[in-house]
Every structure is written in C-alpha cells, then in structure tokens.
Amino acid sequence: MEDFSGSSARILLTAFLLTSFGLIMVYSSSWAYSDYYYGNSYFLLLKQSVAAVLGFASLFFLAKVNIDMIIEYSGYLLAGFTLLTLFTLIPSFSTEGRWLDLGPLSFQPTEGLKFGLIIWTSLAVVDLGDRIKDFRRGIVPFLIVMGGISFLTLLQPDFSMTVLLVTTVGFILFAGGARLVDLGKVIALGVPLLGGLLVMEPYRLQRLISFFGPGRDRLETGYQLTQSLIAFGSGGIFGKGLGGSVEKFLYLPSGYNDFIFSIVGEELGFIGSILVIGLFTALGVEGFRISLKQEDRTRALIAGGFTFVLCFQALLNFSVTLGLMPVTGLTLPFISYGGTSLIVSLAMVGFIINIDNS
C-alpha cells in the first residue's frame, strides 16, 4: 500500500467516499422508479454497483500500470472514441443518439472521448512548446480538432458535453502557456456561435427562458427546475432523512441521474449538500496539488485536466440543480446513476494516482 499515501491516499479515499455515497443515493432516489418501470426496486442500484466494481478495477489497474504507452498513443485513443461517437449517430447502433448498444450492454462513448481528449491535448500542448503562444500554429490546430468533435457531440445532440469538452481543452491550453489574448479571441468567436446554437434548437432557447423565470412555466419547460428547487427548499437545514424524499416518486425527472443532488438536498438538507461539495473540494485540492508538483509537464497537465473536468462538471451540476444555470444534461461525477460516467471518473482518479507515484 506504499503507492497509496499522502495525496494519493487522500484522493483515493475521497473517490471511495463519493462513490459509496453515490450508491446509497442511487438506491434512495431510484427505487420507486425501478419498481414502477422494471418491477425490481434494486434494478438501477445493481447496474450501478457493477459499474462501481469495474470502475475501481480500472482505478487500481491505471494506478499501477506503466502509463507512458497510453500517453504516447493517446492520439489513437482519441481517434477510437471519436469513431465510436460517430457510430452513435447511426440509429441501429445507438439509444437516444448518445449510447452505443452492444446487446445487453450499452455505454456512452463521449465519456471515453473526454478521457482520451485530455491526455492527447496535454501531450500536444507540451510538444508545441513555445509555439503555443502563436495563435495560428498553437491555437488553430486545437480549434480544428474541437470543431470536428463538437460537430459530432452536437449532432447527438449533447450540448452540455460539448461545452464541458471545449472548456476543459481551454483550461489545458491556458495551463500549458497559451496567451490570454488568444483564448479571448476564441471566446469572442464562440459567443455568437453559442447564440446561433440556441436559435437552431428551440428547446435550448426555451430552457434559457425558463431559467430566467421558471415560475412562469412551472408545468412545461420550467417544470424540472421548479421541482428541483422544491426539493431543496423542503429539505431545509437537516433534510427529511435518508429515504424521505417525496420528489423521487416520479415528480422530479432524472432524480436519480442529472438531478440526484436535488434529492440529496431534500433528504439530507443543507448539511448533506455542503458535505458533498466539501468532498469535491477535497478532490480538487489533492488533484491540483499532485499536478503542481510534477516536473514532467505532460503529466502535470493530464493530472490538472482530469481534476478540472471532474470538479468543473460537478460545479455545473450543482449550479443547474440550484437554478444558477439553465438546465443541462450533465451527471454529477461518482454520484449520479450512469455506469460509463462512473467507470471513467474512477479511471481518471487511478491515472492521477499513477502520476503522483511515478
């Protein structure tokens, strides 16, 4: 166990606590749904438990294996998951355009794409060296790659994953030495594009309208956010107690998935919600601490990128469920129901631990 000490031990413990808590909350928030739709109140819990076992197997494997080859051939990893994402656009291969169906199994390729993209971007930034400060040679190539990937994820459609991937690549470019003025140019180009995407898909525009006034449309576009806020409000300081949620009885859509934090707030109150936020804060502190102490820039950027995407995704999820941002479809890492998300999140933690000990 000498490999799991210091920051490695703390980040492993944090991931274990988040995952264990997630399993408890998946059951608490999904048993009514599972019983109603599948005739087995443990249905989603069992599936998530299998994913947790696979996730921790991935964590311990990546914590021990020589990761140099994974880093070196990250371009192939990225290309492979990009191809799998392309397959999700073929109806016979996918469910709802986001999951690949493989008989009894299904998985979300964009989660693997997230993993491969962070490693490849980190390696590419280091390989560029000082050229990263040149917009044409240092930024434009990433714009081309992200343009292709974003095109695929928007076709699924998965707007929230697109935003997450683009923001994460932007963070790695910034950490890798890209000039703020160049990143500002990208943001300036992205704002009108964002507006265009909102107009192209009316449901996105409706979500934005509901965000500014959910009470005006409580039974339609503002329904999910309204129910989420009711869950938090009824939870108060200490909550209704574990298992005491009313919203999980099919009132709150995705209460076991994207909006599981709302159920946490309802059942465990402000105190429980703060503890969850505290665990993600601890994960961020230890992950960035590992990143900052690395002498190898590629490994430093990878550790920082993985830490950033886990914590930023959690921040987005918190913001959505609390009504601080328009509704998006991002899960809460480690806690929300979603096997692929859990496996990839734990794999990222294993990679960070490996970097800490190499």
Domain parsing of the chain, residue ranges: 7-357
DSSP code, position 178: -
Q: Which residues lie below 8 Å from residue 267, measured CB to CB, with a gap of 6+? A: 28, 235, 239, 240, 241, 242, 243, 244, 245
Query: What phi and psi values does residue 100 have, to the nearest 5 degrees?
Result: -85, 130
pTM assigned to the model: 0.93
Residue 1's pLDDT band (cuts 50, 70, 90): very low
Q: 123: alpha, beta or left, given left = phi > 0 and alpha = psi -120 to 50? A: alpha
Q: Mutual orientation of helices 260-292 and 339-357 as an angle, nearest 10°?
A: 20
pLDDT for residue 158 = 85
Rounded distance between C-alpha atoms, residue 232 and residue 30, angstroms: 18
Q: How confident is the model at residue 239 (pLDDT cuts 50, 70, 90)?
A: very high
User: Is residue 2 pLDDT above 60, yes or no?
Assistant: no
Mean pLDDT over 25-50 rounds to 95
Question: What crossing angle do the helices spanning 297-321 and 260-292 adopt, rounded to 10°?
Answer: 160
User: Tell me, what's the pLDDT at 92?
Assistant: 77
In terms of Cβ atoms closer than 10 Å to its own Cβ (0-12, 13-18, 19+), residue 253 is middle
Average pLDDT for 192-210: 67
Residue 285 has pLDDT above 70, yes or no: yes
> In which residue are the tokens 């076992």 written?
53
pLDDT level of residue 211 (50, 70, 90 thresholds) = low
> Dihedrals φ, ψ of 201, to 5°?
-115, 100
Task: Report CA dihedral (93, 333, 203, 263) to the nearest 10 degrees.
Answer: 120
The token duo for 120 is: 């490849």
**Least trusted range by pLDDT, from 43-57, 147-161, 336-350:** 147-161
Mean of pLDDT values over 313-338: 91
Half-sphere exposure of residue 209, counting CA atoms within 13 Å on the CB side?
12
The pLDDT score that the predictor gives to residue 269 is 96
pLDDT band at 199 (very low <50, low <70, confident <90, very high): low
Q: How many CA atoms lie within 13 A of 111 on its CB side?
A: 24
d(CA 234, CA 121): 44
pLDDT of residue 126: 96
Mean pLDDT of 256-285: 96
Sheet of strand 99-102, all strands in order from the earlier edge strand to the far edge: 94-95, 99-102, 105-107
Q: Is the peptide bond before 157 cis (omega within 30 degrees of 0)?
A: yes
pLDDT at 196 over 60: yes
